[in-house]
Amino acid sequence: MSDSLTTKFIEISGVEQTFKTRKGLFPALRDIHLTVAKGEFVALIGHSGCGKSTLLNLIAGLTTPTAGVLLCANREIAGPGPERAVVFQNHSLLPWLTCYENVYLAVERVFGAGSKTVGAPSENKAQLKARTDAALALVGLSAAAQKRPGEISGGMKQRVGIARALSMEPKVLLMDEPFGALDALTRAKLQDELLKIVARTNSTVVMVTHDVDEAVLLSDRIVMMTNGPAATIGEVLSVPIERPRNRVALAEDPVYVHCRKQVLDFLYTRQAHVEPQAA
Amino acid sequence: MVSAVFHGPFEAPTPSASAPAAAPATSKSIAANDPTTPGSMQKDLKIGANSAALAPAFDWRGATRDISAAVLPPVMGLALLVGLWAIVSIVTKGSIPSPADTWKQALDVFADPFYRKGPNDQGVGWNVLMSLERVAVGFGLAALVGIPAGFAIGRFDFLSRMFNPLISLLRPVSPLAWLPIGLLVFKGANPAAIWTIFICSIWPMIINTAVGVQRVPQDYMNVARVLNLSEWKILTKILFPSVLPYMLTGVRLAVGTAWLVIVAAEMLTGGVGIGFWVWDEWNNLNVKNIIIAIFVIGIVGLILEYALVKIATAFTFEEVKS
């Protein structure tokens, strides 16, 4: 997919992020240049504390950079918005709403009366309900629609989070270690589901992960970040594996093994994690 | 001082767990001793049959143990109190009436709690109801002002920094210090007492609500920002439900303080009310009635607390507790 890079959808140029802490300024990110094409799946990988979530928050618009510019569809990212949906690491469902209501909240905001989407006529209740049901069906949770988050498993919660994000028909899906809190089997299952959903919806995805296999299996390109402070992009690896991908078949695929080796090499040989002193 | 964890006054921690665990163990050992159990398959069936047949007997034993474990410690506590009281009564040669005498007097008082013989001689029921009414009005007004104020202070940093010094300054002031101001402004005993209740119950509600708003998980606020929710939606769908447990803690503290303060306020203002009743009986040197009043005040306070804890637990969601 590297040939489609000419269509820049997300454009990050010269972005720098410095946090004010009690001990003075902390440079988290510097000199970030990255473009993401429409329909591309990009993984951000690096050791913890390297600022991958910081970068994702910048794309989401939850924080603003100290320097540099972020563009999405040729417009500057000025703040968070439903066109850049976020799947949070800890699912962030509202525990007092049912799964259905959690998704409906997003659907209503984007497509219902009073939505800020210019040009799109607001939809009626039946259409909003249909969208919500469709989003829950997409992640296979129609049966659990009327349950509250406290009554379903961690994997199901994360799927509701994905359904909520997808229901907004975002231009970009941003995922912050979406499967990090799940056990290995559930994680694999959700990764497979995500692959299918992304193939069906042709979404543009930026995903933060610390799992090498997850990065290689899911993404078109892997953005490897150096260790912080003042982290930056160390290397970008293209994953030239045809889709649909099958995790079992790929386990012995030479291209897969090669990509995996390169990421491991970057993470553990060149960027071997050094515990920061007095942090 | 701020907590969203609710402990009911009647919570007994251990006994419920031990009894069901003990019951199956006993049933199994009886089945094993049973000489008529030949094969392992049948043995399993036998255990089922035996435990079913013997179930009522076990329930009895378990239930008695359950009840005694739940009831015995509080009963012993009460017995200790009554015992000490009896000793004090003997030592003071009856100037503190004995428990038995007080009990007799209590039966008398509660035989007709709702009589009226003029403005200064009314049944204990009327006195309690009047006090509760003052608490309800004062507390209700405080909730009307305090909860929205708490939301505003929690939501907007500017307001928080503006009002925090005021709250810190006024909160430690005994609410009774406000009573003269109330008498001066409202020119009446009853509104002055309500005003005192208002002042004492507003602080816990403001502070707890504000803290609750400030402690709304950042994740939920991020969801609100990504979805670009309107301020109204944020208030109704995110802030209010997640603040509710904190708010109810504030309500509980406020009602508790209000019930403490009303007795003192009524002693000063007079009229009808449990506090006034205590003071009136002191003037009559009727110590038995004072002791009865102490119990009545305690029991009413306990009921208020229990009811509010029940409400608070009903509105606390699993993930807010953790």
- Residue B185 is predicted with a pLDDT of 93
Alpha carbon distances (Å) from A176 to A173, A206, A207, A250, B165: 10, 9, 6, 25, 40
Nearest to B229 among A90, A109, A150 (CB): A109
A19 in B contact zone (CB under 8 Å): no
pLDDT tens string B261-316: 999 999 888 778 889 989 988 988 888 889 999 999 999 999 999 998 888 888 77
Q: What is the mean pLDDT of residues B165-187?
A: 91
A254 in B contact zone (CB under 8 Å): no
Which residues of chain A make contact with B225, given a CB cutoff of 8 A?
62, 79-80
Q: Would the pLDDT of B49 be above 60? A: no
Q: Would the pLDDT of B8 be above 50? A: no
Top residue of A94, A116, A151, A158 to mutate, by most chain B CBs within 10 Å, is A94
Q: How far apart are the first and last CA of chain B?
A: 17
Q: What is the mean pLDDT of residues B206-235?
A: 89
- Give the chain B residue whose CA is nearest to the CA of A90: B219
- Residue B299 is predicted with a pLDDT of 93
| CA dihedral of residues A158, A161, A166, A168 (deg, nearest 10) | 180
Q: ipTM of the assembly?
A: 0.81
- Residue B144 is predicted with a pLDDT of 95
Chain B nearest CA to A230, separation (Å): 25
pLDDT band at B30 (very low <50, low <70, confident <90, very high): very low
Q: Would the pLDDT of B5 be above 90? A: no
pLDDT band at A223 (very low <50, low <70, confident <90, very high): very high
- Residue B58 is predicted with a pLDDT of 62
- Residue B19 is predicted with a pLDDT of 42
Nearest to B228 among A94, A109, A150 (CB): A109
pLDDT tens string B63-87: 888 888 888 888 999 999 999 999 9
Do B222 and A92 count as a contact with CB atoms less than 8 A apart? yes
Topology annotation, domain B108-321 = MetI-like fold (1.10.3720)
Q: Which residue has the higher pLDDT, B16 or A183?
A: A183
Which residues of chain B make contact with A60, given a CB cutoff of 8 A?
226
- Give the chain A residue whose CA is nearest to the CA of B217: A92
Which residues of chain B make contact with A161, given a CB cutoff of 8 A?
none
A82 in B contact zone (CB under 8 Å): yes
Question: By percentage, how much of chain A surpasses pLDDT 70?
Answer: 92
Per-domain residue ranges for chain A? 1-78+208-279
Question: By percentage, how much of chain A surpasses pLDDT 90?
Answer: 38
Which residues of chain A make contact with B242, given a CB cutoff of 8 A?
96
A92 in B contact zone (CB under 8 Å): yes
- Residue A115 is predicted with a pLDDT of 60
Do A105 and B237 count as a contact with CB atoms less than 8 A apart? yes
Q: Which residue has the higher pLDDT, A43 or A274?
A: A43
Question: In this predicted structure, which of A107-116, A127-136, A172-181, A249-258 has the lowest mean pLDDT?
Answer: A107-116
Alpha carbon distances (Å) from B299 to A2, A197, A220, B79, B128: 76, 61, 70, 17, 11
Do A105 and B229 count as a contact with CB atoms less than 8 A apart? yes
**B interface toward A at CB cutoff 8 Å?**
217, 219-220, 222-223, 225-230, 233, 237-238, 241-242, 317-320
Q: Would the pLDDT of A208 be above 50? A: yes
- Residue A199 is predicted with a pLDDT of 86
A86 in B contact zone (CB under 8 Å): yes
Which residues of chain A make contact with B219, given a CB cutoff of 8 A?
88, 90, 92
The tokens for B212 are 């609750």
Q: What is the mean pLDDT of residues B9-24?
A: 44
**How many inter-chain contacts (A to B, CB under 8 Å) are there?**
58
Which residues of chain B make contact with A109, given a CB cutoff of 8 A?
227-229, 233
Question: In this predicted structure, which of A237-241, B24-28, B126-130 has the lowest mean pLDDT?
Answer: B24-28
A96 in B contact zone (CB under 8 Å): yes
Which residues of chain A make contact with B318, given a CB cutoff of 8 A?
95, 150
pLDDT band at A273 (very low <50, low <70, confident <90, very high): low
**Arithmetic mean of pLDDT over chain A:** 86
Q: What is the mean pLDDT of residues B87-101?
A: 88
Do A60 and B226 count as a contact with CB atoms less than 8 A apart? yes
Q: What is the mean pLDDT of residues A47-58?
A: 88
pLDDT band at B42 (very low <50, low <70, confident <90, very high): very low
- Residue B61 is predicted with a pLDDT of 77
Q: Would the pLDDT of A103 be above 90? A: yes
Q: What is the mean pLDDT of residues A225-235?
A: 88
Q: Would the pLDDT of A138 be above 90? A: no
Q: What is the mean pLDDT of residues B237-263?
A: 90
Nearest to A96 among B223, B233, B317 (CB): B317
A80 in B contact zone (CB under 8 Å): yes
Which residues of chain A make contact with B239, given a CB cutoff of 8 A?
none
**Arithmetic mean of pLDDT over chain B:** 80
- Residue B258 is predicted with a pLDDT of 93
Per-domain residue ranges for chain B? 15-91, 108-321
- The correct CATH number of A1-78+208-279 out of 3.40.50.300, 3.30.70.360, 3.40.50.720, 3.20.20.370 is 3.40.50.300
pLDDT band at A256 (very low <50, low <70, confident <90, very high): very high
Question: By percentage, how much of chain B surpasses pLDDT 70?
Answer: 80
Q: Would the pLDDT of A227 be above 50? A: yes
Which residues of chain B make contact with A114, given a CB cutoff of 8 A?
230
A113 in B contact zone (CB under 8 Å): no
Question: In this predicted structure, which of A13-22, A47-56, A119-128, B93-102 has the lowest mean pLDDT?
Answer: A119-128
- Give the chain B residue whose CA is nearest to the CA of A167: B227
Q: What is the mean pLDDT of residues A188-209?
A: 88
A181 in B contact zone (CB under 8 Å): no
- Residue A37 is predicted with a pLDDT of 92
pLDDT tens string B55-64: 555 677 788 8
pLDDT band at A182 (very low <50, low <70, confident <90, very high): confident
A81 in B contact zone (CB under 8 Å): yes
Do A150 and B319 count as a contact with CB atoms less than 8 A apart? yes
d(CA B293, CA B267): 13
pLDDT tens string B131-174: 999 999 999 999 999 999 999 999 899 999 999 999 999 999 99
